[in-house]
């Protein structure tokens, strides 16, 4: 049942996040030092990941000190899609934009979010161990967190509180999906971990830790080349080896990249045929 639920909730599910790439030292400092933060110096790569194909569908770059939510307005929104992101993308007006586009989102409320509870939704008996509360809420204030701008999100939102046995505090999720069960909402946010695994995979297996050039353009080209390589391996896996892991596919592609598989196979069949003909001729001589 859990596997079926996970497959169903991944249709048109998009995961949004960013990762930092550390760039320090000769030539890097020239263009990364002014935008460094207390945590990192370098650039950020922002990615919108299709959860079903585990492939990036949108990407962009920014300086290390740029807030993730500042890049949100450039993300293409698709009606009927579901977008999952963490509380780094807390912008009520952007949430309103997603809602107006006919899409849904799942994210986390900030601790200081001022809300008024409008109604309490029923929780299924089978979900009561996982779901602490399922409520309809509205924002109390009309100004958003970004520069005191007017908060355009006036319609009710859903507040789902999810228990975390390994943590002292529960997850407090925000969503405009008023129809899915609270368990499905919790599963969608749990699926957000896949984009963290994606960033970890490309950093471990593709060349985006050591760079051939040290200019900003050279770094961006190398990162984009890595993302294109990832997409090509995903396409290869889907067509030729759907049951093989992505890492094994990468190894196969790397090992056979310059081999003419069709030609080698034809040569092998021709040699076998020649051997059979030779055997038949020799048997007729004795």
What does 205-262 look like in DSSP terms, one character per residue?
Answer: HSS-SS-S--SHHHHHHHHHHHHHHHHHHHHHHHHH-TTS-HHHHHHHHHHHTT--HH
Residue 194 has pLDDT above 80, yes or no: yes
Kindly indicate the confidence band of residue 146, based on its pLDDT and cuts at 50, 70 and 90: low
Least confident of 87-96, 178-187, 214-223, 260-269: 260-269
pLDDT: which is higher, 152 or 83: 83
For the cut 80, the answer to whether the pLDDT of residue 185 exceeds it is yes
Q: Report the alpha-carbon distance of residue 156 to residue 136 in Å, rounded.
A: 6
Mean pLDDT of 115-134: 92
Evaluate if residue 97 carries a pLDDT over 60: yes
- CA 223, 228, 233, 234 dihedral sign is positive
Spatial distance between the Cα atoms of 39 and 134, rounded to a whole number of angstroms: 36
pLDDT at 274 (0 to 100): 80
Q: Are residues 136 and 44 in the same domain?
A: yes
The predicted pLDDT at position 142 comes to 74
Percent of the residues in the chain that have a pLDDT greater than 90, as a whole number? 63
Tell me: do 231 and 255 sit in the same domain: no
Q: How many domains does the chain have?
A: 2
Domain-located, residue 80: yes
In a domain, 7, yes or no: yes
Q: How large is the average pLDDT for residues 10-35?
A: 91
Residues 124 and 27 in one domain: yes
pTM equals 0.82
Residue with tokens 């509180």: 161
Question: What was the pLDDT predicted at 5?
Answer: 47
Same-domain pairing of 225 and 110: yes
pLDDT band, very low/low/confident/very high, at 1 (cuts 50, 70, 90): very low
The residue that leads in pLDDT, 168 or 62, is 62
Q: What pLDDT was estimated at residue 67?
A: 92
Domain range spanning residue 267?
246-285
């Amino acid at each position: 049942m859990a596997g079926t639920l996970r497959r169903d909730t991944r249709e048109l599910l998009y995961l949004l996040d960013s990762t930092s790439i550390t760039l320090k030292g000769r030539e890097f400092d020239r263009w990364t030092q002014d935008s460094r933060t207390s945590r990192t110096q370098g650039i950020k790569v922002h990615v919108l990941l299709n959860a079903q194909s585990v492939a990036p569908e949108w990407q962009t770059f920014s300086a290390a000190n740029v807030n993730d939510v500042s890049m949100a307005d450039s993300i293409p929104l698709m009606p009927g899609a579901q977008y999952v992101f963490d509380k780094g993308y807390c912008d009520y007006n952007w949430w309103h934009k997603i809602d107006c586009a006919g899409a849904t989102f799942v994210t986390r409320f900030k601790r200081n979010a001022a809300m008024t509870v409008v109604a309490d939704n029923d929780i299924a008996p089978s979900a009561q161990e996982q779901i602490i509360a399922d409520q309809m809420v509205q924002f109390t204030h009309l100004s958003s967190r970004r520069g005191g701008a007017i908060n355009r999100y006036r319609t009710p939102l859903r507040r789902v509180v999810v228990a975390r046995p390994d943590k002292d505090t529960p997850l407090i999720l925000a969503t405009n999906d008023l129809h899915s069960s609270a368990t499905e909402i919790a599963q969608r946010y749990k699926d957000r971990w896949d984009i963290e695994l994606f960033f970890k995979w490309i950093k471990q297996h593709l060349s985006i830790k050591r760079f051939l050039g040290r200019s900003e353009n050279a770094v961006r080209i190398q990162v984009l080349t890595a993302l294109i390589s990832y997409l090509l391996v995903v396409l290869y896996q889907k067509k030729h080896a759907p049951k093989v892991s992505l890492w094994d596919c990468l190894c196969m592609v790397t090992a056979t990249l310059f081999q003419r598989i069709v030609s080698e196979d034809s040569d092998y069949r021709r040699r076998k045929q020649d051997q059979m003909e030779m055997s038949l001729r020799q048997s007729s001589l004795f």
